[in-house]
Chains A and B, each alone.
Chain A
């Protein structure tokens, strides 16, 4: 099955700094790569996603880049704010199985 590695497990930044979270995956047939944000005690919610035919996607302060050759993708958050503090999960979908495999999560702490 799919193996998704996510790094780092925790990330502390100052407000206004950038944050980068990286994920690698094992199955070259995977074709959908979403990122979810989970605030403490809440449900995971999609913040951005990218498909295998696109190399980069931006939405205001967040962006995702995908390198299919190297089988890794990254979440970039610029001008971080305290409300960005949460656990972020990358996920990978293989169309052959129609399921999402999640990374273990990154706890991001943004200090004022």
Chain B
């Protein structure tokens, strides 16, 4: 199916564990993003990527690692999960340049750190 998909949809992990959230898009969009959504904070950018092998920090990058070896995949890794990383994570992709274009969001991953 065409689109952008995230896995898993739900994840419970323990404090200190490493966990990886997957994101896959089929449009060959150059830009990909990871946001976290928390009540009262809206959507905050964690990391983004302008192309394969190019990544950059967003507003809240601490405790997260990303990679982008292929255009279609953009995994997000929590190296040592903390309770403050309990959140809903959204991946998005877009084909915008300097003028902006629609960002398409995945269905989200609800992560609970216990």
Contact = CB atoms under 8 A, between A and B. Distances in A.
Interface in B68-104: 90, 96-100, 102-103
A51 B90 contact: no
Majority DSSP secondary structure for residues of B touching A: loop
B45 A100 contact: yes
Nearest to B48: A99
Given A98-B31, A99-B48, A99-B58, A44 B43 contact: yes
B43 A98 contact: no
B102 A95 contact: no
A111 to B, nearest CB: 22
Given A98-B31, A99-B33, A100-B45, A93 B40 contact: no
Interface of A: 1, 6, 31-32, 34, 42-46, 49, 51, 89, 93, 95, 98-105
Nearest to B107: A43
Contacts of A43: 90, 105-108
B50 interface: yes
Contact of B99 (A6, A32, A105): A32
